[in-house]
A and B are shown apart, each in its own frame.
Chain A
Amino acid sequence: MTDNRFFNRSELIGILVLAVFLVVVLPLTLDVFRLNLVAKYLTYAFVALGLVICWGYGGILSLGQGVFFGLGGYCMAMFLKLEASSVENTKIQSTPGIPDFMDWNQLTALPFFWKPFHSLTFTIAAIVLVPGIFALIIGTAMFKRRVGGTYFAIITQAVAAILTILIVGQQGYTGGINGMTDLRTLKGWDIRPDHAKIMLYFFEVGCLFVCIMIAQFVRHAKLGRILVAMREKEDRVRFSGYSVANFKIFAFSIAAMFAAIGGAMFALNVGFMSPSFVGIVPSIEMVIYTAVGGRLSILGAIYGTLLVNFAKTSLSETFPELWLFGLGGLFIAVVLAFPNGLAGIWSDYVQPRIDRLIASRKRKPDGWTDSSVADGAPAE
């Protein structure tokens, strides 16, 4: 048996298929422009992955993942923007050496909280820790008071709205509604040319697989079981002596950190960060990616993200005035007909056939398939 702490056999096959798809098939078939688009889509896959743990397993619906995506993205963008704002690049400004939007807003010195972002090490730590700690604070404040369900979802929405207003309002410090644009180099390495885009793509796919492994570990550890138990019957878990709040805080924080890594990847791949990824609408969109892919399935969420974003791009290219209706229709159809998303289609229709095929060859069924059905997670 190949079962270990990370995956069972069918999951291993699923992950290998995804790896081949992302590492071999896509780079060979797509041109650099399209590959860069896939890189952009995959940044949302990090968020979707976090939502699978937090929402799918833990039952905590967060409608504010854009907050963490944004925090991670802004941390990365601040570093890149500082590097792009060297004295030499900004000599036409009244104050050279500070980001252009600060100059437009009459700032004459770099604000103190920007200064540490000269360091890449600090930035990388901040990308994970700032959103992680922020989620920890929100989570502690909410879950310790046993706020959950819809109330929690509404509060996360409020946080998303607050952060957007803050970023837009403090434009001298944040770039306002325009966001941070024109990001150029990472430690002197130009992130804009084609070969850099390809490198960044592979780097991102690598990070994604690390996150998938972490998610798999969480799922197969006792922790994952407790999360599922909590989702199904919270009180029973509490009466069994577990601290429900702590598990929820953990799930929420890890989802936040995944989202933040996605945000940082976004800033790197797209060369851009703006409040339009922080607000309520993008946060809900991220939930939709997860729903389309299947909120109970780690790999399903990734395929869902790719599919929805791909549909978004191709529909909008083909029907610039009507595409939103098409996309809306797609969501309604998927949610109505397949409540468990793409992964649901797979586990309900495709997987049984494969199983039957395998079973007809060898009599002994795979022990792990049963248990993964039991914890409500369809195998990929």
Chain B
Amino acid sequence: MSDETNKGLLSPLRRKLLVGMAAVPAITMLPRASFAQAPATSAVNTTGLAVTDTEVTVGILHSATGTMAISETGSIEAEKLAIEQINAAGGVLGRKIKFIQEDGASDWPTFAEKAKKLLVNDKVAAIMGCWTSASRKAVLPVVEQYNGMLYYPTFYEGLEQSKNVIYTGQEATQQILAGLNWIAKEKGAKTFFFIGSDYIWPRTSNKIARKHVENVLKGKVVGEEYYPLGNTQFNSVINKIKLTKPDVIFTDVVGGSNVAFYKQLKAAGIDLAKQPLLTISVTEDEIDGIGGENIAGAYACMKYFQSLDNPNNKAFVPAFKKMWGEKTVIGDVTQAAYLGPWLWKLTVEKAGSFDVDKIAAASPGVEFKGAPEGYVRIHENHHLWSKTRVGRAKLDGQFELIYETADLVEPDPFPKGYQ
């Protein structure tokens, strides 16, 4: 399956993408040529979106300021890169993508306000945005009310499905189950200790993980602890870990808390080379703050690692670094954010229209063969079919791919038996 997919990557689309990136002078000619055959605006835009004969406007809505800026900056960068590449390859239905960027400022109502502004005032054809569950929950009623289209990049807790959202990250079962299966088989793990930040995503993820451990793997959860966002004191839980000696520490601690958590683990003498630890919340971006030496040896369960060895990723990583600097790292969510504009473009072309209703209807089945993670396809439930991968953190802050599922994993936002 994966070999086939890789061959498919050298499709016309893929070639266009390469042309766009390599031959910069040539790209200025390309769009003009394609405008000639661009369909009339009145035909592709019947709902008054910001589409002209030469341009289409989309919104980018992430936190450029506040506590989430450190995480969301990567998503903004990836989306801008995708838009630039799409424009270089001729745009969407012969129209260049213009974007309006708004700052959600790590503040959920601000997200809602800005989403409304983008949809009502700017009439954007789609919004690439949100990061935390809280911001998505705030924006969701707005995009549903004003019938917008949101491409949401973060791996999240599931339990949601909307006509107006395409979830380009993994929902919880997609991210967790394969990783747990792997570690149970590989390490013979029977006992698990869960540590998470205290909000909906870790709680739901751990609930699913617990059911899976108890019912499927026939193992035991020996501890489950939550800490407020931003917490930096993990000594007591580390003592409990030493006491219970779990086979696997399973963590979904997010953001800045990670830095304290891994440093304190190391200081307490827990060697991650010997004590298996599986995290679903640490990507290359977080390691940047944690420091490779503090987390080397830990396993992370994601769908994308910067180190993935496939032709798509080999083109994507240098293009990203060229645009945003040599030192930037690319984490799982950044890659998922990159998928947003591309999936939207492909869907618009499939639907032959910018109208949100038509895009929502055309989305299932849309496949993106140029995805840096390999290949993705949109499911009927507006989530993506994608692989689950386990990587091991290295000293240099990168992950070494250890395991990947043979096939794409089906997204299942409302998992039966896990509720």
Contacts and interface: CB of A to CB of B under 8 A. Distances in A.
Contacts of B109: 40, 270, 272, 274, 276-277
A205 B47 CA distance: 34
Nearest to B207: A106
B228 A165 contact: yes
Interface string A185-200: 0000000100000000
Interface stretch (B19-27, B113-121, B213-221, B260-268): B113-121
A181 B138 contact: yes
B112 A33 contact: no
B112 A324 contact: no
Contacts of B134: 177-179, 274
B102 A320 contact: yes
A88 interface: no
Interface residues of A, number: 34
B68 to A, nearest CB: 12
A317 B102 contact: yes
Interface stretch (B197-205, B306-314, B363-371, B397-405): B197-205
A84 to B, nearest CB: 10
Interface string B191-232: 000000011100110010000000000000000000011000
B281 interface: no
B76 to A, nearest CB: 9
Contact of A40 (B107, B113, B159, B203): B113
Interface residues of B, number: 36
A311 interface: no
Interface stretch (A46-54, A113-121, A168-176, A353-361): A168-176
For the complex, would chain A's binding face be called helix, strand, loop or mixed by DSSP majority?
helix
A271 B141 contact: yes
The residue among A31, A106, A182, A323 with the most chain B CB atoms within 10 A of its own CB is A182
Given A181-B141, A274-B134, A276-B107, A171 B116 contact: no
Contact of A320 (B103, B141, B229): B103
B199 A176 contact: yes
Contacts of B203: 104-105, 171
A171 B102 contact: no
B163 to A, nearest CB: 14
B414 to A, nearest CB: 7
Nearest to A84: B141
21 contacts: A33-B120, A33-B121, A104-B157, A104-B204, A105-B203, A168-B198, A169-B228, A171-B200, A177-B200, A179-B108, A179-B137, A192-B145, A271-B112, A276-B107, A276-B109, A316-B110, A316-B114, A320-B64, A320-B101, A320-B102, A323-B65
Task: Give 6 nearest A-B pairs by CB, closest first.
Answer: A320-B103, A178-B134, A177-B199, A181-B137, A182-B141, A33-B120
Interface of A: 31, 33, 37, 40, 92, 94, 101, 104-106, 165, 168-169, 171, 176-179, 181-182, 192, 270-272, 274, 276-277, 313, 316-317, 320-321, 323-324
Given A33-B121, A317-B102, A323-B103, 19 more contacts: A33-B120, A37-B113, A104-B200, A165-B228, A171-B198, A171-B200, A177-B134, A179-B134, A179-B138, A181-B138, A181-B141, A182-B140, A192-B141, A270-B109, A271-B141, A272-B138, A274-B108, A316-B105, A317-B114
